[in-house]
């Protein structure tokens, strides 16, 4: 008997992926969110009903309601569901049920989860394993961020936010890296490390850790097989002779315990993505997939949305969108842009994400933009947080250590200004976990239509 499952906050990466899996399994799925997104468009294309806005009528007839971590307990739909006696679960509690009949391959870490889990899912698919998966970005090769497969394996991007990953009991777990993030949830690094220790305590067989990252490298547990990967020659899986390739990705030789496995060519740019690929290889090898199949899958993988995603090119200007919003991610993304476009002028459009994160990592943000030629900072995307006056995008922009930085609050104004300033050969990179990818879309439209901005940037124009 199928259930009617309603997801509150379905427009986010986490719940939209779960919705795909439930729909594929034959459940009757609906959802609601205050805004629509690429995730909701993909769900609607799969015939999942998505409501814009929240209303108690949306939960009528539901057998189960699942709520995003971003949804407050006083949400009208959650209140109505409880009054009607309908079970209401957060993501952590539901993940246990969702993965119960599978061997879970989980990818945790502060950065790199989406790419690494997407790579694992694609390798399994290419090997004929037909995996289930839920990841934090739309995978171009699947057209979705979640799927219910017929195989034994379930690949899960194990999100540490709100301790959601503690709902998992993985067969194999990957830790890509470990550094402080989500200060609203984990006030200190020690709080975050304690959550990861609990997560590792639930792993059943193998722990795969990135040896290059000190936080991940410090993790182990008695009774677990520990496999290491990274650019460090001491890692079990490591890479040598790294170089960019004509596809915009990286070529590198792979060694396992100093034994050459072969050449890998990927479409994913940057040194961090070499490490992500090595982590995925380690998992694939652990479940018995041959290196030749792994090699071919890595070559054909097209990446995930908002992970150094080429949005388009117009009038010689390339626009890239990336999910980077933590200082470490920003540095990695801009370093990748500089590696791929060594002679280009790089424009970084940064949308700060949550006030607590900006306050906690202010010092690191100030040093994160050295690989950009020009930096534009938007107003803070508050997400679940309320502005208290202590920090803003303008305050941040005034302190960033960069000779060419300015604050422009409105996204449309940024696109208009850029249309006046960019030249053929320039690269614009939007860095956002919010809605600043609109800047890239609007800029491409302005350039392709021949329209330009109002030309009020004389001082900056003189400098360039």
Q: Check: CB of residue 125 under 8 Å from CB of residue 107.
A: no
Radius of gyration of the chain (CA): 22
Kindly indicate whether the domain formed by 309-463 is annotated with CATH number 3.90.190.20. Answer: yes
Q: What integer pLDDT is reported at residue 451 of this predicted model?
A: 67
pLDDT tens for 95-136 read: 999 999 999 999 999 999 999 999 999 999 999 999 999 999
pLDDT at 13 over 70: yes
Q: Check: CB of residue 104 under 8 Å from CB of residue 120.
A: no
State yes or no: is 113 an active-site residue.
Answer: yes
Q: Rounded mean pLDDT of the chain? A: 94
State yes or no: is 318 an active-site residue.
Answer: no
pLDDT tens for 31-81 read: 999 988 889 999 999 999 999 999 999 999 999 999 998 899 999 999 999
Mean pLDDT (whole number) for 160-181: 96
CA distance 368 to 224: 36
**Residue 400 phi, psi (nearest 5):** -60, 135
Closest of 174, 125, 126 to residue 153, by C-alpha: 125
Q: Supply 186's token pair.
A: 């984990």
Q: Check: CB of residue 132 under 8 Å from CB of residue 21.
A: yes
CA distance 89 to 15: 12
The domain limits of the chain are: 4-90, 99-300, 309-463
**Which pLDDT band, with edges at 50, 70 and 90, does 390 fall under?**
confident
pLDDT tens for 110-120 read: 999 999 999 99
State yes or no: is 114 an active-site residue.
Answer: yes
Q: Among 110, 113, 116, 329, which one carries the catalytic annotation?
A: 113
Q: Check: CB of residue 460 under 8 Å from CB of residue 408.
A: no
Give the number of other Cβ atoms within 10 Å of residue 160's Cβ: 21
Q: Supply 235's token pair.
A: 């890692």
Q: Among 114, 212, 266, 430, which one carries the catalytic annotation?
A: 114
Q: Supply 237's token pair.
A: 């899986």
SS3 431: strand
pLDDT tens for 343-360 read: 999 999 999 999 999 999
Which residues make Cβ contacts (< 8 Å) with residue 107, sequence separation at least 6? 113, 116, 117, 120, 155, 156, 157, 158, 173, 174, 176, 279
Mean pLDDT (whole number) for 260-287: 97
CATH homologous superfamily, domain 99-300: Mur-like, catalytic domain (3.40.1190.10)
Q: Among 77, 157, 275, 309, which one carries the catalytic annotation?
A: 157
pLDDT tens for 243-260 read: 999 999 999 999 999 999
What is the CA angle 90-74-134, rounded to 5? Answer: 25
Q: Supply 171's token pair.
A: 């067969």
Dihedral sign, Cα of residue 53, residue 56, residue 62, residue 68: positive
Q: Check: CB of residue 66 under 8 Å from CB of residue 16.
A: no
The domain 4-90: what is its CATH number?
Answer: 3.40.50.720
pLDDT cut 70: percent of the chain above it = 97
pLDDT tens for 73-83 read: 999 999 999 99
CA distance 3 to 17: 18
Q: What integer pLDDT is reported at residue 452 of this predicted model?
A: 61
Q: Which residue has the higher pLDDT, 139 or 459?
A: 139
Q: What integer pLDDT is reported at residue 70 of this predicted model?
A: 86
């Amino acid at each position: 008997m199928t259930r009617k499952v309603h997801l509150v906050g379905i427009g986010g990466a986490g719940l939209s992926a779960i919705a795909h899996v439930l729909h594929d399994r034959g459940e009757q799925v609906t959802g609601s969110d205050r805004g629509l997104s690429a995730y909701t468009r993909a769900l609607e294309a799969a015939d999942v009903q998505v409501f814009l806005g929240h209303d108690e009528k949306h939960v009528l007839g539901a057998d189960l309601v699942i709520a995003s971590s971003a949804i407050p307990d006083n949400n009208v739909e959650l209140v109505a569901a409880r009054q009607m006696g309908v079970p209401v679960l957060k993501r952590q509690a539901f993940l246990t049920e969702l993965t119960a009949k599978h061997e879970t391959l989980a990818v945790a870490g502060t950065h790199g989860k989406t790419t690494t889990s997407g790579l694992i899912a694609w390798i399994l698919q290419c090997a004929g394993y037909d995996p289930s998966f839920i990841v934090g970005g739309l995978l171009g090769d699947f057209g979705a961020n979640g799927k219910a497969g017929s195989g034994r394996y379930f690949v899960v991007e194990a999100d540490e936010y709100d301790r959601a990953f503690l709902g998992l009991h993985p067969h194999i777990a990957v830790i890509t890296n470990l550094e402080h993030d989500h200060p609203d949830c984990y006030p200190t690094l020690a709080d975050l490390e304690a959550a990861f220790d609990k997560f590792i305590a639930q792993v059943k067989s193998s722990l795969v850790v990135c040896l290059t990252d000190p936080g991940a490298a410090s993790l182990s547990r008695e009774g677990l097989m520990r496999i290491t990967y990274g650019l460090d020659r001491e890692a079990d899986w490591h890479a040598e002779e790294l170089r960019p390739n004509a596809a915009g990705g990286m070529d590198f030789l792979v060694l396992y315990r100093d034994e050459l496995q072969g050449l890998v060519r990927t479409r994913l740019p940057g040194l961090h993505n070499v490490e992500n690929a090595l982590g995925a290889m380690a998992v694939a090898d652990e479940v018995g997939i041959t290196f030749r199949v792994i090699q071919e899958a890595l070559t054909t993988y097209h990446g995930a949305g908002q992970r150094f995603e080429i949005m388009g090119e117009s009038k010689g200007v390339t626009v890239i969108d990336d999910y980077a919003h933590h200082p470490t991610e920003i540095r990695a993304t801009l370093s990748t842009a500089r590696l791929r476009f060594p002679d280009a002028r790089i424009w970084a459009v940064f949308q700060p994400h949550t006030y607590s994160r900006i306050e906690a990592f202010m010092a690191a943000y100030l040093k994160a933009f050295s690989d950009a030629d020009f930096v534009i900072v938007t107003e803070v995307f508050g997400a679940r947080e309320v502005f208290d006056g202590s920090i803003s995008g303008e305050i941040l922009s005034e302190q960033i250590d960069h000779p060419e930085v300015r604050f422009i609050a409105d996204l449309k104004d940024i696109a208009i200004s850029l249309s006046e300033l960019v030249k053929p050969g320039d690269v614009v990179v939007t860095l956002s976990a919010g809605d600043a990818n609109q800047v890239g879309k609007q800029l491409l439209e302005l350039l392709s239509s021949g329209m330009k901005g109002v030309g009020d940037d004389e001082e900056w124009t003189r400098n360039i």
